[in-house]
Structure 1
């Protein structure tokens, strides 16, 4: 009887969130998109004119990030690290805590609960894929 109770408890604990199906995993961003590359955008910033952000995603699961606080801090931040995919294969979590939903030509910054940020600035929480680093030299970020 103890074994049956133990098995029931394990089943109940494991049923919190259904595992993605084989079809879901096969059609995930991780497996179907060319997600590697350079992404650029300017995120809203309450204490500056915007966070000019460039993220490069590199195989297997590495990133390089550059951030400049526009209009306030002349010292850019540069860092690198690793990221992991969530169980669905559509979201990456950088080792520094940022969470992004991956699409074919852009990434959306998500909140800590893995939800898209809403409101009037919702579309500004997006970085678009660019073709080369030269793009940034020829097209400086917009000043907000």
Structure 2
């Protein structure tokens, strides 16, 4: 039985810039930042939640061979590899906080059937949702 996610990988174009954005701007914490076998392992996680790591990976050899690596880098830069949603308890307040830190939002917070939601891109083009989710019971009530 699958019990959860052990690791999520996110393609980025520069590990140092990614670390700065995800740690200094978004407030994630570093889990691992270590060189092993010629490869830099860099994971970040939400504050106080080391069991939810996200590995930041540059799509390049030896991890991904060319020409696929170049195609992936192009897709990242164009925003086609959106990963999903980051959860917050207060979407509007987090939106204002992150906007003040320089995060470029492409959608302001808006009420949706599943909660309050906004959208931004990281410095590489990855598309993220910032979501204050409703409970499943709230969603079911709203949908009927």
Please, what TM-score do these two structures have when normalized by structure 1?
0.26
Please, what TM-score do these two structures have when normalized by structure 2?
0.26
Structure label with greater radius of gyration: 1
